[in-house]
């Protein structure tokens, strides 16, 4: 019997997973049972990544060891830097990331992998540390390389978020921004099965090299329907220009059936919990301490007010992209880097899913409903 | 209501498609309604690729135009060659291909794509021609580059298959091998929904750049469960060493429950039609004309005889990989290039599916069955 075809496989279970859980009605997202509200408040990206990878909060020793490995693996081989320099200066950092990650399968050949021991735990741990460590370094390096400058070398004494800010600006990271970037990395690290994570599962199920797997997932996340919304939020807020224009602008977009970027999420019927947490952290760590955000944040708050009026009754509330783009901008990242920062963080989730897939692997091979031509005979070209 | 979870989504329709059709009982594979037996006999890879992309056999003018574009697009930019030179000499050509294809999204930026006109027909045609043309050139170039030699420049006066052989050896291609390589490219060009084509669909559904889409699919095909069987057939035949050892070797592997490489295919209950066609073409174009194949081919025929005895009653027959590896070896390709040749050919199918997906796009976002921890509270690290 043929099963029904469901476009986009919406609602079709593609895996059994113990990694994350979404309660869309209650507006809750948890990693390995821990709500992201608690993780964003108490944990670090390093600890959260390790939680995602292993399933448990680490002991102090385990975390120290993992952090040390992440820090050590920040170094980028000079041949990888040379490869990056061959790319056009206009290369989008997502395309750079997909390219370099694919090449890392060769720069870091694994004997365990080549011997078919892809379930070897030491191998899985080491390759995950290396991929995770490189993601942040590569994005920060590219900001310099694409402008013709030597990259700033990574430091091993800084947190993951702190080192990213250091490599971007070349100076000690501001602790407030470090804290907020760390929170953003925690909040984006995992989100059940979406197109990029699904790409990682399908690619991983062929037992492809994990660098190839993450490269494929980056390709998927690079699509404008998936990863690019936080970049578009900024464009929209800049177009609005001033908080007092917010209502007219939004009403006009709604009347023209245009998307309000950063509003609504298919999984949540309430405010995206990640957006609420981010807003609260901004308040607590920045605004309450006399820190300021640019005019764009005021515009964003005005847009949120207007949307509460016009869209909340439809269950449409701000999502995480609504605030993260503003923060990345304030930290000095180029808009093209917003999706790559998402990718850096999400690589923790991709690797956790890759690892989970390996443990119970079956290659993905769905079927199709054939709607094409029936059998027909080849005609010589002279008769066409 | 929750749907049942089916590992690997086996039998779950993931798309409606008019591109290819498999009748596993009858042992028939058709592209756009045309059986591959007729295509392998009468068509060329260029014509077959265009058939897959457009849905119809081209007129003489259309084919001439397409062929001209494929030939022109064989040139590889020197910055792409420089990028290839940064890769370690040990880089598997599949990793090289995934890397370079990802970079091509930047080397060939498309204004239509960037403006969101991803359904623009001219854009789809041009980018498909460029990707398809580059695949063959890149693989042939890498054989020289990885050994430290300058690549042999492509020629625009040769067929797709002929140019690949020319770029590999630097001399006029032998018409028999050109014909047989052309047939191999036709036979591997498309095969409904498998892991790599599915990866292309999922990545494409985010509206990612087609170079990113093909790069992701290459990552998927690089996995040993998917693309690498033809390489393993050769290793197996070499281990057997002589036709007279075939029975003992196969019986021994079966007794130890080891895989007989190149035997069996989940889609076919009879001999893989592609294997049958390839065997017939070898007979007709090579053996009947006094041509010779190496001892490996004799061993392969002996293995096939033994397997007919031992496995045919289970519906296990030779698949296409059983013969293609032997041919590629005779043509002078390194075993590591066998899967890349598969990728070159299959890029036609990937691009046809990408194109089809765009026309009715819905992003892939299946769901999961959560089997993890229930809600639990974060504990400070000192208490763990």
Q: What was the pLDDT predicted at A270? A: 84
User: Nearest chain A Cα to B34, which residue?
Assistant: A376
Buried-exposed string B91-117: b where 16+ CB fall within 10 A, e elsewhere = bbbbbbbbbbbbbbbbbbebebbeeee
Instruction: Give the model confidence (pLDDT) of A354-372 as tens digits.
Output: 999 999 999 999 999 999 9
- Tell me how far apart the alpha carbons of residues B295 and A252 are, in angstroms, rounded to a whole number: 75
Confidence category of residue A242, pLDDT binned at 50, 70, 90: very high
Q: What was the pLDDT predicted at A38? A: 97
CA-CA-CA-CA torsion for A97, A100, A104, A106, nearest 10 degrees?
Answer: 150
Give the number of C-alpha atoms closer than 13 A to the C-alpha of residue B348, restricted to the C-beta side: 31
Interface touch A371/B116, C-beta < 8 Å: no
Q: Tokens 């749907």 identify what position?
A: B3
Q: Is-contact B143 B168, C-beta < 8 A?
A: yes
Instruction: Give the model confidence (pLDDT) of A207-221 as tens digits.
Output: 999 999 999 999 999
Least confident of A67-71, A223-227, A349-353, B189-193: A223-227
pLDDT averaged over chain B? 93
Most A CBs within 10 Å: which of B10, B219, B231, as the mutation test of the A interface? B219
Instruction: Give the model confidence (pLDDT) of A29-52 as tens digits.
Output: 999 999 999 999 999 999 999 999
Most B CBs within 10 Å: which of A4, A365, A371, as the mutation test of the B interface? A365
- Tell me how far apart the alpha carbons of residues B11 and A365 are, in angstroms, rounded to a whole number: 8
Q: Which residues of chain B have pLDDT under 50?
A: none
Interface touch A35/B375, C-beta < 8 Å: yes
Cα separation of the two ends of chain B: 39
- Tell me how far apart the alpha carbons of residues B143 and B166 are, in angstroms, rounded to a whole number: 12
Instruction: Give the model confidence (pLDDT) of B200-232 as tens digits.
Output: 999 999 999 999 999 999 999 999 887 777 788
Looking at CA atoms only, how far is residue A363 from chain B in angstroms?
A: 5
B321 is an active site residue: yes
- Whether residue A228 has pLDDT greater than 80: no
Collect all residues of chain A within an 8 Å Cβ-Cβ radius of residue B47: 381
Residue A289 CB-density burial (10 A; 0-12 exposed, 13-18 middle, 19+ buried): exposed
Among A92, A134, A188, A265, the one annotated catalytic: A265
Instruction: Give the model confidence (pLDDT) of B122-157 as tens digits.
Output: 889 999 999 999 999 999 999 999 999 999 999 999
- Tell me how far apart the alpha carbons of residues B72 and B81 are, in angstroms, rounded to a whole number: 17
Q: Which of residues 128-167 of A touch B (CB under 8 A)?
A: none
Q: Which residue ranges form the domains of chain B, and what is each CATH number?
A: 34-223+336-359 (1.10.580.10), 229-330 (1.10.230.10)
Q: What was the pLDDT predicted at B268? A: 86
> Which segments within chain A are labelled E, that is strand?
13-17, 20-23, 28-31, 34-35, 367-370
């Amino acid at each position: 019997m043929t099963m029904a075809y469901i476009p986009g496989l919406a609602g079709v279970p593609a895996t059994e997973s113990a990694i994350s859980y979404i309660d869309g009605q209650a507006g809750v997202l948890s990693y390995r049972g821990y709500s992201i509200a608690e993780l964003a408040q108490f944990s670090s990206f390093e600890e959260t990544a390790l939680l995602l990878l292993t399933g448990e909060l680490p002991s102090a020793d385990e975390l120290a060891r993992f952090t040390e490995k992440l820090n050590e693996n920040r170094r980028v081989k000079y041949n990888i830097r040379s490869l990056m320099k061959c790319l056009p200066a206009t290369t989008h950092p997502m395309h750079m990331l997909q390219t370099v990650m694919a090449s890392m399968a060769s720069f870091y050949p694994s004997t365990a992998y080549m011997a078919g021991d892809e379930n070897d735990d030491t191998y899985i741990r080491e390759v995950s540390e290396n991929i995770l460590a490189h993601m942040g370094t590569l994005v920060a390096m590219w900001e310099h390389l694409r402008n013709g400058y030597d990259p700033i070398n990574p430091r091993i004494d800084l947190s993951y978020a702190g080192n990213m800010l250091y490599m971007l600006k070349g100076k000690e990271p501001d602790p407030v921004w470090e804290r907020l970037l760390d929170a953003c990395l925690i909040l984006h690290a995992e989100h059940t099965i979406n197109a990029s994570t699904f790409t990682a599962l399908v690619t991983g199920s062929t037992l492809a090299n994990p660098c190839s797997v993450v490269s494929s997932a980056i390709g998927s996340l690079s699509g404008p329907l998936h990863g690019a919304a936080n970049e578009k939020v900024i464009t929209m807020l800049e177009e609005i220009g001033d908080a007092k224009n917010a209502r007219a602008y939004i009403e006009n977009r709604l009347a023209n059936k245009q998307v309000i970027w950063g509003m609504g999420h298919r999984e949540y019927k309430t405010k995206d919990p990640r957006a609420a947490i981010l807003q609260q952290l901004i308040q607590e760590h920045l605004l309450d301490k006399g820190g300021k955000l640019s005019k764009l944040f005021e515009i964003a708050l005005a847009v949120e007010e207007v949307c509460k009026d016009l869209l909340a009754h439809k269950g449409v509330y701000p999502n995480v992209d609504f605030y993260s783009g503003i923060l990345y901008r304030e930290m000095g990242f180029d808009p093209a880097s917003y999706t790559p920062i998402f990718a850096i963080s999400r690589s923790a989730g991709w690797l956790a899913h890759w690892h989970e897939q390996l443990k119970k692997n079956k290659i993905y091979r769905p079927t199709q409903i054939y709607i094409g031509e029936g059998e027909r005979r080849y005609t010589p070209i002279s008769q066409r």
